Chain A
């Protein structure tokens, strides 16, 4: 895509053959759009696509929606409500070979708007991976709408490398194919077509052990082709980024375009609002853990207080959370030190743990300003024996969850409600139910981040306190609001976001460039890590943790 500085952005005479250009409802975006575009349309398309992606993200958080159909239904409703009917239409598009004018127009909008956001998102690695994650998610949902012809056409157009297995192979591996492919995918092996692809092309199937592997080759049933396409699509997007960056270079000087692109980015930056402006003193944490912490953090706090230790991932999850609620680094250090030194000596603490705490505050190592983990990250974390982190509703079994809630004074009916939601994998629902019980009301925002939970809680408790003051009445919910804590000065959230719903970021948004942390393909090609001089030799073996933390933060979901 090239732009001139004229009012109308032109490169080549507009081709009327939209039908030739847009042969398929589902695009891989492997060529940039051509033609001319009014700046106003440019802006509008960009903003609409951004809204689309935010809806996609909100939809992805809904673990209660299980089937692609349910997810699509939910997304479609949200899109229609938000005036994005053409995306709702594209969501269900089958590939139809004889497109109408409207179809072609929708495809064109889809194409152009995608490329505008590419320009806006191609520079910063966090933004980029957010953008790509949402695009891939939207792609997968759309892929599931395609008919057989649609899939085949996509395979042929993009020359995707996969080979159908022969009848002999099917007979040879019949038992293994039967065992290792999800039953939902193969009702009857004889009528299911299988394809052979290198295993690294379908990492999601490998990861969840839903595919037969033999000598590095994955045998995927037709119904799982979506994984193959999604990984092709994703790679395509990453590979297209250098070109996007170059096009931006060529547009330097056009204020309106660059400022428009910048504004798109800013929207997203404001979305991940989790920080608390005021300082939260550590001596309030015990009480706050009961009044304003989500269950996952309450459990970590309790485990730390009981065992005077937390393993690395637990320290990360809880440490970043308290950083987010306004515990200063000095306070955090003394907080961890107080607990840990009940079990180990000070020298050991200083040697093995102090570094990583300073590191989470960006004061050591790569000086990355880490952001508290959000729910998707927490829900997808891996938890091993002796660990307490993760999402309470996902990582606790029913018996342990019920017992814990009981210990926290939750009445039986509410325990049942929460435990049932957890069992149905509706973790956000369970978390919200817990919130509702603690605060005697629903949160105003969707709980999709522990620090959002905390912020919501503080607002409600502060309002309660004000109301009480105004009415000069005694606290009725004294059990949950002590006067000291209810004062708005502790932990009041800033920037309550007024955006659509509560979009949250799968990846975090530290202020500094975290390029160096990403070891994905993207990381290999274009990152510019900011490293500060580190004097060697150092006595701290736990430098190794840099990589663990970076790893944790940068992993793909």
Chain B
């Protein structure tokens, strides 16, 4: 794909006719002008020119500047105590607010996905993202009580999650770190083969919930489709997770007696269950092993440094990915099963759609001589659906603001 070549030509139209400036402003102001004007934006222009600490007093100012600079990438940073553009060099420049964000990138799955590697993705490995989205979304809602969660496609091979509840936006670094680590189960570097260790005899309710979602798809998805025990190399990687030398050897022999990944998985499960029930003296290290392995292969892999910092920048929704040309569109956890990166509209197709529509519209007008009706440009394109998701998210946010204002008024009335 070579969108990069044309991107500079397409961006003027994209920003002029498709980028949803008013909704974008409604989102980032959260009903308060200062929240918007103290927000850091950063732009990456053509040729990697990088502008940090941009900020804008109004929707108009933002819109004009974006249309003037035509950024290849827009990042959103924190809301500061003062406006970043004028004061970021000042002595008292402090981030005060920021959505709680999560970044999940397919490259972190390279040791468990077998269909693709590095920047490539396909519909098979996209299922890792689908699962990650569902697991995180339910933990954020049920465990932490967050309601305003915006999921965004990162433009190429990952997803971003923006938790926008007001009590999430004001979390401190320590608190963000705690949430991120609570949700991070897979840990360990090159020299730590077993990356999930569940302590104690019981399994935490949050992990249990995740396991239920994983178990429902594990065999068809990981064991069969990803074929995690299909080759010698994959079996070797799998066996390294088992720390006990004897068990590893025995399993290796057992695996040799079967041909398919599924049969090998089944015999593995049987072998471990047997260890647990027959009172093997090492049963303790096997008590959660099956669960731990499923988690290692399928639980969300988070880049938690992104989540911990207040001032960490994250790519904005509705950016266009400069390599793929795809738009970073929002989606929801409820419909994530239907989301396919291949179907994400690219800047090229969107602009074609507008042109087609205009052409058709013009012909119709000529034919029937009707009054020209103004239709919003995005409604003419396949980005329409994503925008409706975004608007619904905004609607929920503003409803809650109204509710809390009413509540405050009620409280005042009491006096």
Interface residues of A (CB under 8 A from B): 176, 178-180, 182-183, 199-200, 203-204, 206-209, 212-217, 299, 303, 351, 382-390, 392, 395-401, 404, 516, 519-521, 523-524, 527-534, 536-541, 543-544, 547-548, 551-552, 554-556
Q: Which of these binds chain A: B140-148, B271-279, B331-339?
A: B140-148
Q: Which residues of A contact B172 (CB under 8 A)?
A: 200, 519-521
Q: Which chain B residues (301-323) contact chain A, with CB distance < 8 Å? A: 301, 303-305, 308-313
Q: Which chain B residues (158-207) contact chain A, with CB distance < 8 Å? A: 167, 171-175, 177-179, 181-182, 184, 186-195, 200-207
Known A-B contacts A382-B304, A388-B190, A395-B189; the reply to A520 vs B204 at CB < 8 A is no
Q: Does B181 contact A207, Cβ atoms closer than 8 Å? A: yes
Distance, CA A87 to CA B80, complexed state (A): 43
Q: Which residues of A contact B184 (CB under 8 A)?
A: 382
Question: Which 5 residue pairs spanning A and B have beta carbons closest together?
Answer: A216-B145, A215-B145, A203-B178, A383-B189, A400-B191
Q: Which chain B residues (65-96) contact chain A, with CB distance < 8 Å? A: 81, 88-96
Q: Does A383 contact B144, Cβ atoms closer than 8 Å? A: no
B266 contacts the other chain (CB 8 A): no
Choice from A539, A548, A556 contacting B177 with Cβ under 8 Å: A556
Distance, CA A204 to CA B178, complexed state (A): 7
Choice from A208, A389, A399 contacting B243 with Cβ under 8 Å: A399
Distance, CA A272 to CA B177, complexed state (A): 26
B48 contacts the other chain (CB 8 A): yes
Distance, CA A404 to CA B189, complexed state (A): 14
Distance, CA A397 to CA B88, complexed state (A): 44
Q: Does B111 contact A385, Cβ atoms closer than 8 Å? A: yes
Interface of B is mostly: loop
Smallest CB gap from A396: residue in B: B191
Q: Which residues of B contact A395 (CB under 8 A)?
A: 188-189, 191-192
Smallest CB gap from B194: residue in A: A397
Known A-B contacts A203-B174, A523-B94; the reply to A547 vs B194 at CB < 8 A is no
- Cβ of A157 to closest chain B Cβ, rounded Å: 25
Q: Which residues of B contact A524 (CB under 8 A)?
A: 81, 94, 96
Choice from A303, A351, A541, A547 contacting B311 with Cβ under 8 Å: A547
B44 contacts the other chain (CB 8 A): yes
Q: Which residues of A contact B64 (CB under 8 A)?
A: none
Q: Which residues of B contact A213 (CB under 8 A)?
A: 143-144, 182, 206
Choice from A216, A382, A400, A543 contacting B50 with Cβ under 8 Å: A543
Q: Which residues of A contact B96 (CB under 8 A)?
A: 524
Q: Which residues of B contact A389 (CB under 8 A)?
A: 189
Q: Does A556 contact B173, Cβ atoms closer than 8 Å? A: yes
Interface size on B, residues (CB 8 A): 70
Q: Does B92 contact A528, Cβ atoms closer than 8 Å? A: yes
B122 contacts the other chain (CB 8 A): no
Distance, CA A215 to CA B201, complexed state (A): 25
Distance, CA A217 to CA B167, complexed state (A): 13
Q: Does A555 contact B173, Cβ atoms closer than 8 Å? A: yes
Q: Which residues of B contact A547 (CB under 8 A)?
A: 309, 311-313
Choice from A532, A534, A544 contacting B313 with Cβ under 8 Å: A544
21 contacts between A and B (CB under 8 A): A179-B202, A179-B203, A206-B178, A214-B145, A382-B184, A383-B187, A383-B188, A383-B192, A384-B303, A385-B108, A395-B192, A397-B243, A399-B193, A519-B309, A531-B89, A537-B51, A539-B49, A548-B305, A551-B173, A555-B174, A555-B177
Q: Does A537 contact B49, Cβ atoms closer than 8 Å? A: yes
Q: Which residues of B contact A209 (CB under 8 A)?
A: 182, 204, 206-207
Distance, CA A442 to CA B62, complexed state (A): 63
Known A-B contacts A213-B206, A383-B188; the reply to A536 vs B51 at CB < 8 A is yes
Smallest CB gap from A173: residue in B: B205
Distance, CA A392 to CA B192, complexed state (A): 10
Q: Which residues of B contact A214 (CB under 8 A)?
A: 142-143, 145
Smallest CB gap from B312: residue in A: A547
Q: Which residues of A contact B308 (CB under 8 A)?
A: 551, 555
Q: Does B145 contact A217, Cβ atoms closer than 8 Å? A: yes
Q: Does B193 contact A400, Cβ atoms closer than 8 Å? A: yes
Q: Does B201 contact A385, Cβ atoms closer than 8 Å? A: no
Q: Does B50 contact A539, Cβ atoms closer than 8 Å? A: yes
Distance, CA A123 to CA B171, complexed state (A): 24
Q: Which residues of B contact A200 (CB under 8 A)?
A: 171-172, 175, 178
- Cβ of B283 to closest chain A Cβ, rounded Å: 17
B287 contacts the other chain (CB 8 A): no
Choice from B53, B205, B309 contacting A176 with Cβ under 8 Å: B205
Distance, CA A41 to CA B172, complexed state (A): 39
Q: Which residues of A contact B186 (CB under 8 A)?
A: 384
Smallest CB gap from B88: residue in A: A531
Distance, CA A263 to CA B181, complexed state (A): 39
Q: A179-B204, A527-B92 are in contact. List 9 more A-B contacts (CB 8 A).
A: A383-B189, A384-B187, A384-B188, A536-B52, A539-B47, A544-B312, A547-B312, A551-B173, A555-B173
B208 contacts the other chain (CB 8 A): yes
B45 contacts the other chain (CB 8 A): yes
- Cβ of B56 to closest chain A Cβ, rounded Å: 16
Highest count of chain A CB atoms <10 Å: which of B89, B96, B143? B143
Q: Which residues of B contact A539 (CB under 8 A)?
A: 47-50
Distance, CA A178 to CA B111, complexed state (A): 34
Smallest CB gap from B306: residue in A: A548
- Cβ of A347 to closest chain B Cβ, rounded Å: 11
Q: Does B93 contact A385, Cβ atoms closer than 8 Å? A: no
Q: Which residues of B contact A208 (CB under 8 A)?
A: 181
Distance, CA A178 to CA B93, complexed state (A): 45
Q: Which residues of A contact B89 (CB under 8 A)?
A: 531-534
- Cβ of A250 to closest chain B Cβ, rounded Å: 23
Q: Which residues of B contact A388 (CB under 8 A)?
A: 189-191
Choice from B45, B177, B190 contacting A537 with Cβ under 8 Å: B45
Smallest CB gap from A385: residue in B: B111
Distance, CA A539 to CA B47, complexed state (A): 8
